[in-house]
Amino acid sequence: MKIRAVYPGSFDPITNGHIYIAERAAAIFDEVIVSVLINERKNAAFSVNERCEMARETLSHVKNIKVDSFNGLLADYVRQQEASVIIRGLRAMSDFEYEFQMALMNRKLAPEVETFFIVTDPRYSYVSSSSVREIFHFGGTVQDFVPEVVFNKLRELYTKHT
């Protein structure tokens, strides 16, 4: 039986930390769906289409990864996709509390689905989409944290706004 996993997140934008987790998940599971959350409440820097496009481009080298988007309950989406695993990345203890709570809630909503945590590489343990956006905005170097495609999109975004 093929095991399909969903890696959900805001990916606003996708970073090398996300890519690392997606690649490792793809080495374990038959199929990984990197799924961009359409979050109407949270003000995203990039549109859902842009976020998906960046994820698609930067993960195109991994054949068993597909990029999609979703809104509503993750548990419903995972079932709809006939997946049985949710992938989440862990950077530090500070991620743990939130992730643990979410995993328990998802277990309550979809007991047949397992949340699978992958620990990040130390190079990315302090990398987040929001820190990348902020550092870029204030003129800092982010090339070690995001692929070139994303770097170029950040440049476009911030020249549009200045």
Could you give phi then psi for residue 52, rounded to 5 degrees?
Answer: -65, -45
**3-state class of 62 per DSSP?**
coil
Least distance in angstroms from the C-beta of 96 to ligand ADP: 10
d(CA 115, CA 88): 7
81: helix, strand or coil: coil
Kindly tell me which residue out of 4, 5, 6, 11 binds ligand ADP, with binding defined by CB under 6 A. Answer: 11
DSSP single-letter state for residue 40: S
CB of 130 to ligand ADP, least distance (A): 8
Residue 62 Cβ, how far from ligand ADP at the closest point, in Å?
A: 16
Binding segment for ligand ADP (CB under 6 A), chosen from 11-19, 50-58, 63-71, 154-162, is 11-19
Contact 109, 73 (CB under 8 A): yes
Stretch 133-162 residues interacting with ligand ADP (CB under 6 A): none
With binding defined as CB under 6 A, does residue 89 bind ligand ADP? yes
